[in-house]
Amino acid sequence: MTTLLEMRGISKLFPGVRALDQVNLSVEAGEIHAICGENGAGKSTLMKVLSGVYPHGSYEGDIVYDGGTLAMKSITDSESKGIIIIHQELALVPLLSIAENLFLGNEVAKGGVINWPLAFQKTRDLLQKVG
């Protein structure tokens, strides 16, 4: 397999707290990873570094994606590379459907009008992938 993503020596400091200390993560193409650990272990911080919530320069270390070094300044930068973070909350908006929650903020729309048949088809396709 080919290494798709590497986070090398990632350290993140907050006032009085070292949230991450030389963390390394390697993901091969085609792999799926879950980041697990106790509260305060640094899971969310690591993912916020990867997703650009904490921009390049606010942490130490390197992120290499698909052979190139990333220096993301925002979530928009990571999303443009196809790096999307699924946060740990089980239901983003309990009153919305699965399709509405899946595409919340990325609605399947044209001209400001949501294409519900396409959204529902994409939802079926995604759910079929994960069983």
The band of 130, judged by pLDDT with boundaries at 50, 70 and 90, is confident
| pLDDT for 66 beyond 70 | yes
- pLDDT attached to residue 83: 87
β-bridge mates for residue 25, sequence order: 7
Single-letter code of the amino acid located at 103 = F
Scanning 18-115, the segments in alpha helix (DSSP H) are 43-51, 75-80, 98-102
Consecutive H or E run containing 10: strand 3-14
* CA separation for the pair 66, 81 (Å, rounded): 10
| pLDDT for 54 beyond 90 | yes
Domains and CATH numbers, the chain: 3-80 (3.40.50.300), 98-130 (no CATH)
> Helix, strand, or coil here: 78?
helix
Count the Cβ atoms, other than its own, within 10 Å of residue 55: 15
Mean pLDDT of 11-29: 94
Up-side HSE of residue 6: CA atoms within 13 Å toward CB? 11
The predicted-structure confidence for 5-18, as pLDDT tens digits, reads as follows 999 999 999 999 99
